[in-house]
Amino acid sequence: MSDRDKHTTINDKPLLRIGAVSKRFGSHLAVDDLSLDIREGEFFALLGPSGCGKTTLLRMLAGFETPDSGVISLDGRDIAAVPPHQRPVNMMFQSYALFPHLDVAGNIAFGLKRAGFSRTEISSSVAELVAMTRLEGLEQRRPDQLSGGQRQRVALARSLARKPRLLLLDEPLAALDRNLREVTQAELLALQRKLKMTFVIVTHDQDEAMRVADRIAVMNKGRLVQVSAPRELYESPKSRWAASFFGDINIFDGQVVSRADGRVSIRTQAAGVLTVPSDRQPADGAALAVGIRPEKISMSAAAASPEAANTLRGEIVDTTYLGEMTAYRVKLASGEAARVRAPNHLRADAPPFGIGDSVSLSFPPDACILLES
């Protein structure tokens, strides 16, 4: 269950099972022996860099691509070879793909007409979807008479018209500006919760994935790197790559020098000896790395206590005001730089720290992440 919505009930039974699926385009292996279960009622995100295979995987779920090998089953039925129009699956495209010659009502009704629904059924469904997506009064407008947000809602209504078991969303909010995108993310999430439908979204936007998804699958080079709830993915990444891709992080490489009381001390060239909690028992001299998120580092003008764990001294070499917080780059004695983010609690004419200031950095062991070097 997502930390974002403790009241959401998700069926533990998988609705969609992807088993050892691979897809190649010429010499390029786009999806590589990938297995994944997606639960009924879940809002699931596929996240990764360009070319990682996430859109290819989505297109195979929709039926627009056929796997070279493997099984895709929905409700226990293998659909890997089933044509798109025969699957209880619909896809909302990034471009929205609205018909320019049809008005809002006509676009929403298009799939229902092709499926042979009666005029009464179509009229009732269109009215329900118009209300659900807040398009009242716009039924007679054509796509070129709508805003970007309105076109997005028409595309969403059309994709929901036939009540699919699974809705696929391919970068659906990429064309919207930031403020509208955030509002639409909240609306999309509320709609998914109301319908209790399984949504799978492809996005390159980490913030978007964290806002809407119950779980996130991070992909790289056609493979799954990690599948976790947003909080777990951010706080406990299972690999160095996942830690670096998902959010900003400082990583200090080093070697184990001691172990005691569930903690490991690692001597790093960049930041000295750092202490990290660990349930592992790595050997002395083992190469490991310490990760620390920039917002978990405290910064002070005063020198830290000599007894305190994980304290560094450095000089601010860059600051960036970001509204709700300020980002700092601090040059350490080793010459390496640490990234720090501090919330802007007060409205002030000048930031508390500036370029050239000498500062102490500190962070508790429990805020650190132990990573393979």
CA distance 52 to 241: 13
Confidence of residue 350 (pLDDT cuts 50, 70, 90): low
**Average pLDDT, integer, range 352-372:** 93
CA distances in angstroms from 319 to 4, 219, 294, 322, listed in the order given: 31, 32, 13, 10
pLDDT value for 180: 79
| 8 A C-beta contact, residue 207 and residue 181 | no
Quick one: pLDDT at residue 302?
87
Strand order in the sheet with 311-321: 298-300, 358-362, 311-321, 325-332, 337-343
188 closest CA partner among 206, 204, 172, 207: 172
| Phi, psi torsion values for 233, nearest 5 degrees | -65, -40
289-320 in b/e form (b: 16+ CB < 10 A) is bbbbbbebbebeeeebeeeebbbbebebeebe
Task: Give the model's confidence band at 9: pLDDT under 50 very low, under 70 low, under 90 confident, else very high.
Answer: low
Return the number of other C-beta atoms located less than 10 Å from residue 38's C-beta: 23
- The reported pLDDT for the residue numbered 177 is 78
Name beta bridge partners: 227.
Answer: 217
What is the Cα–Cα distance from 202 to 299, expressed in whole angstroms?
A: 37
Q: Which two tokens stand for residue 278?
A: 């660990």
Distance between CA atoms of residues 139 and 107, nearest Å: 10
**Residue 103 dihedral angles phi and psi, to the nearest 5°:** -80, -175
Give me the amino acid identity at 28.
H
Residue recorded with tokens 């036939």: 162
Tokens of 83: 């044509």
For the stretch 247-256, pLDDT in tens is 899 999 999 9
Each residue's pLDDT tens digit, 97-106: 889 999 999 9
pLDDT band at 317 (very low <50, low <70, confident <90, very high): very high
Structure confidence by residue, pLDDT tens digits, 126-176: 999 999 888 999 999 999 999 888 888 898 899 998 899 999 999 887 777
Using alpha carbons, select from 216, 248, 257, 224 the residue that is nearest to residue 369. 248
If one counts every other C-beta atom within 10 angstroms of the C-beta of residue 9, the result is 9
Residue 2 pLDDT class (50, 70, 90 cuts): very low
Token representation of residue 205: 């936007």
- pLDDT value for 3: 47
pLDDT at 174: 77
| Predicted model pTM | 0.88
Q: Compute the average pLDDT of residues 361-370.
A: 94
Beta-sheet strands, E only, within the chain: 14-25, 28-39, 43-47, 69-74, 77-78, 89-92, 166-170, 198-203, 215-220, 223-228, 250-260, 263-268, 272-277, 287-292, 298-300, 311-321, 325-332, 337-343, 358-362, 369-372
From 332, 357, 352, select the one nearest 342 (Cα to Cα). Answer: 352
Q: Measured between alpha carbons, how far is 88 from 117 in angstroms, rounded to an integer? A: 16
Kindly tell me the number of DSSP H helices and DSSP E strands found in the chain: 8, 20
β-strands 77-78, 28-39 pairing: unpaired
Count Cβ neighbours within 10 Å for each residue of 163-174 and write b for 16 or more, e otherwise: ebebbbbbbbbe
Packed helices 104-114 and 148-160: angle between N→C axes, nearest 10 degrees:
20
- Residue 12 — very low, low, confident or very high, per pLDDT cuts 50/70/90? confident
Q: What does the pLDDT average to over 81-95?
A: 88
Q: Residue 8's pLDDT is what? A: 52
The residues facing 203 across adjacent strands are: 47
- Phi and psi at residue 298, to the nearest 5°: -90, 145
DSSP labels for 308-339?
-SSEEEEEEEEEEE-SSEEEEEEEETTS-EEE
Q: Which pLDDT belongs to residue 270?
A: 92
